[in-house]
C-alpha cells in the first residue's frame, strides 16, 4: 500500500476507564516513532476538540510522563459525549473536520472509545472517503461495559471486573461481622449488558460473593425478586447480598431506577437515560418486606477509575491495541477497529485482529443466555472461565509519599 506522509491526531471519547490512557500511551508513543508521521496531536475532549481546533502537541511531552499514562486512570486528554449527525442530513461538522484536517495536514485519525465512539469513527472515515481526502482512520476499543461487538473482550473490562470482584469480597466480609440481620444491595454499572455486574460472580467463585445477581439480559420481575430474596434471607439466617446492574428493566421496559427516582428521565446527547438509584429502590423494598436493615451500595465511578486495582493483562493488552492501531494505519489500513481474538484452549492467549467499523458501530454484545443460570440469578462456570484470565496480574501506579504518581501532561496547545 502507498506510503502516506502527514500528521496524526488521537482522541478519547465516552466514559473513562482505568486503562484508557494505556491505549493512549500505545498510540502516541508508536506514532511518534513513525517517520511518515510528522506531528502527533492529542484532541482536547475528543471530536469536539478537533471541531474547536483545540488539541495538544504530544511531541512536546516528557517521554517519562507518557510512560506513566499506562497506570494513570481516566482520560488524560479529556473525553466527550458528542454525537455527529447523519452527514446526509447535516454535514456541517464533517465539513469543519475536513477544514481542520487539511489545515493541519492530518492524515491519520485514531479514536478511542466504545459503541458510540466507533460510530463517530465510522462516520468520519466514510465522509473523508466520499470527499476524496486521504486519511486513515482506526478505532481503538474501550469500555468497562465489555459490550463491543466483534471482539472477545474490551480494554478496561478486566481491570473494572477485578475491582468489582475484589470490592464485593470486601463488602461480603464487612456485612457479616454482626450477629444481626443485614441485607446489602450492590449496584454495578451496566445499561443493557451485564458484563460488569457479572464480575461479582468471581467473588462468589471464591465463596465471598452475592447470593443473587440480576442482569439487564434478564427481564426483572419485582415479585420474583422479593420471593428470591426472602428464600435466601431465611436460609442464611438474615444475611443477604444482592448484585444488580443499574440498567435492569421490568417487562414494560421501565428502568427499576425509575421506580423511586427521576434520574432516568434525563438524557445525554445519544438519548441515553442517566441511570442510578437502582440499589436504593431495591433496598427500600427489601427493608419493608423483610423488616430489617438494608444497605444500598453504588460502586459508581470507583469501578472505572481504580487504577490501583488494575489488571496487568488489561494494561498490557490496552497498550498493545494502541500500538497496533498506528502500525495498521501506517501499513495502509483504514475504516477498521483493533479487536481482541482469544485462542481456543485452556491456556489463555490473546491475539489482535482488525474488524470493519460498521460492524461495531452502535452494536451491543450481551452475555450469552447459556452463561446465566436457568433461574436468572447467577452466572455459570462458562462465565468464570471466560473472565478469570482477564483479571490476572498486578498493575498499579508507582508511589510517591505513599500516594500514586499519575502522569502530568504539559498539554502544549498546537499552533499553525
Closest CA to 341 of 158, 160, 153, 138: 153
Candidate list 93, 116, 119, 145, residue with the active-site label: 145
Report angle CA 19, 272, 154 to the nearest 5 degrees: 25
Contact 219, 311 (CB under 8 A): no
Alpha helices in 112-175 (DSSP H): 115-130, 157-174
Contact 141, 284 (CB under 8 A): no
Alpha helices in 16-156 (DSSP H): 20-33, 46-51, 63-68, 92-103, 115-130
Characterize the bridge pairing of strands 182-188 and 239-245.
Answer: parallel
What's the CATH number for 157-305? 3.40.50.460
Q: Rg of the Cα trace of the chain?
A: 22
Closest CA to 335 of 108, 43, 115: 108
| 301 vs 341: CA distance, rounded Å | 28
What would the grid cell of residue 252 be?
414494560
| 243 vs 199: CA distance, rounded Å | 10
Give percent of the chain with pLDDT exceeding 70.
Answer: 96
Mean pLDDT throughout 240-252? 96
What are the CA-CA distances from residue 341 to residues 148, 153, 293, 369 (Å)? 13, 8, 45, 21
> Is residue 273's pLDDT more than 70?
no
Q: What is the pLDDT of residue 304?
A: 93
Residue with cell 481482541: 340
Contact 354, 336 (CB under 8 A): yes
Per DSSP, the residues of 22-55 read HHHHHHHHHHHH-TTEEEEEEETTHHHHHHTT-E
Mean pLDDT throughout 234-245? 96
Band (pLDDT 50/70/90 cuts) for residue 281 is very high
Band (pLDDT 50/70/90 cuts) for residue 95 is very high
> Is residue 272's pLDDT more than 90?
no
> Is residue 38's pLDDT more than 50?
yes
> Is residue 332's pLDDT more than 70?
yes
Number of Cβ within 10 Å of residue 382's Cβ equals 13
| 24 vs 1: CA distance, rounded Å | 26
pLDDT in tens, 110-134: 999 998 899 999 999 999 999 999 9
Length of the chain: 416
* CATH 3.40.50.450 segments of the chain: 6-144+307-363+392-404
Q: Is 334 left (phi over 0), alpha (psi -120 to 50) or beta?
A: beta
Give me the phi and psi of 339, to 5 degrees please.
Answer: -130, 160
> Is residue 268's pLDDT more than 80?
no
Q: How far is CA 4 from the centre of its chain?
A: 32
Mean pLDDT throughout 179-201? 96
Band (pLDDT 50/70/90 cuts) for residue 261 is low
Q: What is the pLDDT of residue 275?
A: 46
* CATH 3.40.50.460 segments of the chain: 157-305
pLDDT in tens, 215-233: 999 999 999 999 999 999 9
The CATH fold assigned to 6-144+307-363+392-404 is Rossmann fold (3.40.50)
What would the grid cell of residue 35 be?
517517520
Strands ordered across the beta sheet of 239-245: 212-214, 239-245, 182-188, 294-298
What are the CA-CA distances from residue 243 to residues 17, 170, 271, 298 (Å)? 21, 14, 26, 10
Band (pLDDT 50/70/90 cuts) for residue 263 is very low
| 279 vs 30: CA distance, rounded Å | 43
**Positive or negative, the Cα torsion across 139, 144, 55, 399?**
negative
Contact 18, 306 (CB under 8 A): yes
Band (pLDDT 50/70/90 cuts) for residue 416 is confident
Torsion of CA 361, 66, 32, 30, to 10 degrees: -50
Contact 273, 192 (CB under 8 A): no
| 168 vs 176: CA distance, rounded Å | 13
> For this structure, is 145 an active site residue?
yes
Band (pLDDT 50/70/90 cuts) for residue 271 is low
> Is residue 274's pLDDT more than 50?
no
Q: How far apart are the first and last CA of the chain?
A: 30
Amino acid at each position: 500500500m502507498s506510503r502516506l506522509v502527514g500528521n496524526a491526531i488521537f482522541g478519547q471519547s465516552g466514559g473513562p476507564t482505568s486503562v484508557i490512557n494505556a491505549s493512549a500511551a500505545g498510540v502516541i508513543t508508536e506514532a511518534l516513532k513513525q517517520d511518515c508521521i510528522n506531528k502527533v496531536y492529542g484532541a482536547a475532549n475528543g471530536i469536539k476538540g478537533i471541531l474547536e481546533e483545540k488539541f495538544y502537541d504530544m511531541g512536546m511531552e516528557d517521554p517519562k510522563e507518557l510512560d506513566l499514562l499506562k497506570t494513570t486512570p481516566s482520560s488524560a486528554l479529556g473525553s466527550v459525549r458528542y454525537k455527529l449527525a447523519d452527514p446526509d442530513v447535516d454535514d456541517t461538522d464533517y465539513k469543519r473536520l475536513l477544514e481542520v484536517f487539511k489545515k493541519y495536514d492530518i492524515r491519520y485519525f485514531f479514536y478511542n472509545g466504545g459503541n458510540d465512539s466507533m460510530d463517530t469513527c465510522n462516520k468520519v472515515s466514510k465522509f473523508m472517503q466520499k470527499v476524496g481526502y486521504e486519511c486513515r482512520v482506526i478505532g481503538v476499543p474501550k469500555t468497562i461495559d465489555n459490550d463491543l461487538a466483534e471482539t472477545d473482550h474490551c480494554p478496561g473490562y478486566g481491570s473494572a471486573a477485578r475491582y468489582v470482584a475484589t470490592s464485593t469480597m470486601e463488602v461480603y466480609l464487612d456485612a457479616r461481622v454482626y450477629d444481626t440481620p443485614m441485607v446489602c444491595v450492590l449496584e454495578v454499572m451496566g445499561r443493557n449488558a451485564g458484563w460488569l455486574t457479572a464480575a461479582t460472580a468471581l467473588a462468589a467463585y471464591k465463596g465471598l460473593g452475592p447470593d443473587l445477581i440480576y442482569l439487564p439480559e434478564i427481564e426483572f420481575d419485582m415479585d420474583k425478586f422479593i420471593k428470591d430474596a426472602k428464600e435466601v434471607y431465611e436460609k442464611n439466617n438474615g444475611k443477604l447480598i444482592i448484585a444488580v446492574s443499574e440498567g435492569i428493566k421490568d417487562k414494560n421496559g421501565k428502568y427499576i431506577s425509575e421506580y423511586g427516582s427521576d434520574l432516568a428521565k434525563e438524557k445525554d446527547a445519544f438519548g441515553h437515560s442517566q441511570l442510578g438509584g437502582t440499589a436504593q429502590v431495591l433496598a427500600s423494598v427489601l427493608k419493608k418486606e423483610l423488616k430489617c436493615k438494608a444497605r444500598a451500595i453504588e460502586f459508581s465511578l470507583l469501578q472505572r477509575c481504580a487504577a490501583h486495582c488494575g489488571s496487568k493483562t488489561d494494561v498490557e493488552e490496552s497498550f498493545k491495541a494502541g500500538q497496533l492501531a498506528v502500525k495498521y494505519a501506517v501499513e495502509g489500513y483504514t475504516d477498521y477497529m483493533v479487536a481482541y481474538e482469544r485462542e481456543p484452549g485452556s491456556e489463555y492467549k490473546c491475539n489482535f485482529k482488525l474488524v470493519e467499523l460498521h460492524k461495531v458501530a452502535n452494536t451491543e454484545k450481551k452475555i450469552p443466555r447459556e452463561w446465566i443460570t436457568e433461574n436468572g440469578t447467577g452466572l455459570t462456570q462458562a462465565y468464570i472461565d471466560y473472565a478469570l484470565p482477564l483479571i490476572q496480574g498486578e498493575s498499579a501506579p508507582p508511589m510517591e509519599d505513599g500516594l500514586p504518581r499519575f502522569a502530568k501532561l504539559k498539554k502544549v496547545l498546537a499552533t499553525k
